[in-house]
Amino acid sequence: MSARRWEMHTRAGENSRRLADWWAAASKPSADCKLGREPPRRRGDACAACKPRPDFEVNREIARLIEFAAFKRPGLCPYRVVVSHLLAGLTLGPEAFRARSAGRLRIDPVVEIKGARKRIRSILYATGLSRDDIEAISISNDSTRWQALSAIVTADRALEKALAFFQSRISLQTSRSPRGRTGALHIQAVARAMALAWRQLTGRLPARKNVKFQRLLLAAIATIFGGPRKEPNLESSIRTAVERIRKDAASRS
Largest CA distance in the chain: 61
User: What is each CA distance from 160 to 13, 96, 108, 147, 165, in whole angstroms?
Assistant: 21, 21, 16, 20, 9
Gap between the Cα atoms of 189 and 196, Å rounded? 11
Ramachandran sector of residue 31 (left: φ over 0; alpha: ψ -120 to 50; beta: rest): beta
Tens of pLDDT along the chain (253 residues) come to 444 454 555 566 677 777 777 777 666 554 556 554 555 544 455 565 566 777 789 989 998 898 888 887 766 788 888 988 888 887 766 655 555 554 444 566 788 888 888 889 899 889 899 999 998 898 888 888 899 999 999 989 888 888 888 777 654 444 444 443 434 777 888 999 999 999 999 999 999 889 999 999 999 998 888 766 677 788 999 999 999 899 888 877 6
DSSP code for 207: P
User: What is each CA distance from 59 to 42, 53, 111, 185, in whole angstroms?
Assistant: 19, 7, 27, 23
Using CA atoms in the order 241, 69, 36, 204, what is the torsion angle rounded to 10 degrees? Answer: -30
Q: What is the DSSP string of 169-206?
A: HHHHHHHHPPP---TTHHHHHHHHHHHHHHHHHHSSPP
Ramachandran sector of residue 60 (left: φ over 0; alpha: ψ -120 to 50; beta: rest): alpha
CA triple 74-79-81, angle to 5 deg: 70
- Candidates 87, 96, 63; CA nearest to 212 is 63
The domain spans of the chain are: 3-104+182-252, 106-177
Residue type, 50: C
* Predicted structure pTM score: 0.60
